[in-house]
Amino acid sequence: MAGNNPLFDLTGRIALVTGSSQGIGLALARGLGQAGASLVLNGRDEGKLAAAADRLRGEGLRVSTAAFDVTQGAAAEQAIARVEAEVGPIGILVNNAGIQRRSPLEEMSETQWREVIETNLTSAFIVTRQVAPRMIARRAGKIINTCSVMSEVCRPTTGNYAAAKGGLKMLTRAMATEWARHNLQINGIGPGYFETELTKPLMENPKFNDWICARTPAGRWGKLEELVGAAVFLASPASNYVNGQIIYVDGGLLAAI
């Protein structure tokens, strides 16, 4: 619990986190649960999702699961209707689902491009268009989009990922522009370099590891639990007048040339 300060208390709220069977999504879900929220985990692999849910339940958290492909509109429509009927009103939506398909642009296949754009950007539109009308009707809702330092900068072989995350930054602002008047707050979190399944090959590459530690003013990779504070803030009453903002949790990377 966040020191029992009502500003950061999520008790009684239901949080759906997409792509939360591992990595950043699982860490954010755990943090929102520890701040009092009831969790709905999402992923495509039902086995991985069930294992993640069991882990969090073992930590004393309230957890349901919703296995669906966030890139498919019909699946999202069915899943969100079921969650709202069986679990309750979604008060917090974290659009976190994301993949990496690294390739130099000139060698990138159409599939590599489309898969990343669909999963990392379009999915936020697909899922949110099912959740937002319900939040608007209730005149309350928190939406957090997992952006990236690659919403601002890029490195070779990540053109598809950076385009998606740059688009997600602007979709965050578009959602805020249209829905703030309905008392919805829509913001983003922009992680720097954290060890996840997506970045493990990079962290295990000594040359890349040395480069990132030199490029990041904090001189190290982030720890997944270091993303939780920004998520709890953006999911809580503490951020009721914050809209369209991306909070970069990057060890100072974007501050430095």
Using the minimum distance from each CB to ligand GCO, give the nearer residue, 55 or 155. Answer: 155
CB of 65 to ligand GCO, least distance (A): 25
Let me know how long the chain is. 257
**Are the C-beta atoms of 251 and 222 separated by less than 8 Å?**
yes
**Are the C-beta atoms of 119 and 71 separated by less than 8 Å?**
yes
Task: Name the phi and psi angles at 153, rounded to 5.
Answer: -135, 170
Residues 42 to 81 in contact with ligand GCO, rule: CB under 6 A: none
Which residues are marked as active site? Answer: 161
The residue with its CB nearest to ligand GCO is: 148
**Applying CB under 6 A, what is the total number of residues that bind ligand GCO?**
14
Binding segment toward ligand GCO, per CB under 6 A, in 18-26, 106-114, 145-153, 177-185: 145-153
Instruction: Please pick, from the candidates 102, 114, 134, 182, the single residue that binds ligand GCO as defined by CB under 6 A.
Output: 102
By the rule CB under 6 A, 161 interacts with ligand GCO: yes
Instruction: Please pick, from the candidates 198, 213, 218, 254, the single residue that binds ligand GCO as defined by CB under 6 A.
Output: 198
CB of 147 to ligand GCO, least distance (A): 8
Q: Which residues bind ligand GCO (CB under 6 A)?
A: 100, 102, 148-150, 155, 158, 161, 191-193, 198-199, 202
